[in-house]
Amino acid sequence: MKVLLIGSGGREHALAAALNRDTTLEELHVAPGNPGIAEIALCHPIDIDDNKAIVELAKKLAVDLVVVGPEKPLVNGVADALNKANIACFGPSKAAAQIEGSKDFAKQVMRDAGVPTGKSFTCNSRTEIEKALDTFGAPYVVKHDGLAAGKGVVVTDDRDLAIEHALQADQVVIEEFLDGPEVSLFGISDGTTVIAMQPAQDFKRAFNGDLGPNTGGMGAYSPLPWAPDEIMEETLDQVLNPTIAEMAARGTPFVGLLYAGLALTSRGTKVIEFNARFGDPETEVLLPRLKTPLAQLLFAAATKNLANFGELEWSNESAVTVVLASEGYPTNPKVGAPITGIQTNSNSYVFHAGTQLRDGALQSAGGRVLAVTGLGSDLTQARDAAYRTISRISLPGSHYRSDIAFNASVAEKGN
């Protein structure tokens, strides 16, 4: 099989590594890719917002499958353009990607499908905003309706700040605060059949102890030793299957990865958000443990053949991913700093998230620079492997959290 993967981050590097392990893969192309991906696949420069260019490249390379990493091309309708050209695409149509592209649309789908989620109001004016905030009280949860590259959600006790954030968008969703741990659970869908992946947890705040601003994700771990055994079954029954059925019933079947961000609240599991693509850094923590051939899995989903695919196979190992971020990330990341000391071994991976080559030297090119995944027989061993590898890497001014999966590893040891 020949595959073209779209994207350039740590998620795509992890996808590329896992696709390469599938023995049916003949050629792996990535557009645009990054210096880490270029070591394991053929990279092609491209503007990922240009649907026509993506279709042309897929045709020129005569690929069997296109896998779309980031949400923006999906919301732009790249899957529709590819399908029109008879090219199989793992990733939803423009209409189905609205499940990530509009928080209000996601709420409507959940309401119609009977999927548990927080109560919310969609607001278009200051009066509506203030009324909704006062109905729920603090802590206030305000979400811009459209794609906001991780900057759309504010959770705050400060009513004035909540109003200020709300007024920055034309339409906002104001939601009740959901307590309890968060879990990311991915469903692979062919439009009717869904296969659940194992759950992961990511760390969204910038600094140790869940302090500091929200980020794209500073680390993750999987599996979750503390999570209820039936979490995958329950999420399939209560969230993934009803959502996929509702999307099909609306005439906009969802083909691709449905990312359920869950809150395990004292009143049961509730959906915090849906995304229409693989999560980052959850992908970097999950895929090194996936034994099922990934190209075959994604091809089966894209060609509506998941019903007989069978269950996914996972390694029994634990995995921990730690993100190395640039100086100033997330507020004002500095780029262009030299990266040295990357050494991998049999129990760690270094995925490039925001890197570039300048005169043959590797340097930072984004806020999140590398995602380092360690594997081990339990979370303690996996943490050791990840932290050993990341501590040897030098990037002036950079920072990473030292507490990724720490509490879970202590609890696991105590059991």
The secondary structure element, H or E, covering residue 98 is: helix 94-101
Binding ligand GLY by CB under 6 A: which of 69, 91, 152, 217? 217
Please give the structure tokens belonging to residue 83: 């399908």
Binding ligand AMP by CB under 6 A: which of 96, 153, 320, 350? 153
* Minimum distance, C-beta of residue 280 to ligand GLY, in the bound complex (Å): 4
Place of tokens 């995304």: 275
Q: Is 173 in the site for ligand AMP (CB under 6 A)?
A: no
Please give the structure tokens belonging to residue 190: 């062919």
Identify which of residues 246 and 273 has a Cβ nearer to ligand GLY in the complex. Answer: 273
Alpha-carbon 302 to chain mean position: 19
∠ at Cα 172 (166, 175), nearest 5°?
A: 95
Task: Name the DSSP letter for residue 198.
Answer: P
Q: Of the candidates 134, 114, 4, 166, which has an alpha carbon nearest to the alpha carbon of residue 69?
A: 4
| Count of residues touching ligand AMP (by CB under 6 A) | 13
Q: Is 202 in the site for ligand GLY (CB under 6 A)?
A: yes
Distances (CA, A) of 79 to 103, 195, 254: 21, 20, 11
384 burial (CB, 10 Å; 0-12 / 13-18 / 19+) is: middle
Binding ligand GLY by CB under 6 A: which of 280, 306, 326, 347? 280
Binding ligand GLY by CB under 6 A: which of 51, 93, 222, 275? 275
Identify which of residues 22 and 175 has a Cβ nearer to ligand AMP in the complex. Answer: 175
The secondary structure element, H or E, covering residue 52 is: helix 51-61
Strand partners, 352: 370
Identify which of residues 178 and 218 has a Cβ nearer to ligand AMP in the complex. Answer: 178
Contacts of 257 (CB under 8 A, 6+ apart): 90, 91, 186, 187, 188, 189, 275, 276, 277, 278
Task: Name the residue type at position 116.
Answer: P
Identify which of residues 135 and 345 has a Cβ nearer to ligand AMP in the complex. Answer: 135
* Residue whose Cβ sits closest to ligand AMP: 273
Place of tokens 């279709």: 55
Contacts of 148 (CB under 8 A, 6+ apart): 169
* Minimum distance, C-beta of residue 34 to ligand AMP, in the bound complex (Å): 24
Q: Is 317 in the site for ligand GLY (CB under 6 A)?
A: no
Q: Is 281 in the site for ligand AMP (CB under 6 A)?
A: no
Q: Is 178 in the site for ligand AMP (CB under 6 A)?
A: yes
Stretch that binds ligand GLY, among 57-65, 275-283, 323-331, 368-376 (CB under 6 A): 275-283
Q: What residues between 237 and 266 interact with ligand AMP by CB under 6 A?
A: 261
Identify which of residues 80 and 282 has a Cβ nearer to ligand GLY in the complex. Answer: 282
| Count of residues touching ligand GLY (by CB under 6 A) | 6
Please give the structure tokens belonging to residue 200: 């992961």
Q: Is 142 in the site for ligand AMP (CB under 6 A)?
A: no
Binding ligand AMP by CB under 6 A: which of 247, 272, 285, 386? 272
Yes or no: say if 329 and 301 are a contact pair by the CB < 8 Å rule: no
Stretch that binds ligand GLY, among 34-42, 274-282, 307-315, 404-412 (CB under 6 A): 274-282
Q: Of the candidates 276, 258, 283, 273, which has an alpha carbon nearest to the alpha carbon of residue 155?
A: 273
Q: Is 279 in the site for ligand GLY (CB under 6 A)?
A: yes
Q: In the complex, which residues of this chain contact ligand AMP (CB under 6 A)?
A: 118, 141, 143, 153, 155, 175, 177-178, 182, 204, 261, 272-273
Q: In the complex, which residues of this chain contact ligand GLY (CB under 6 A)?
A: 202, 217, 275, 279-280, 282
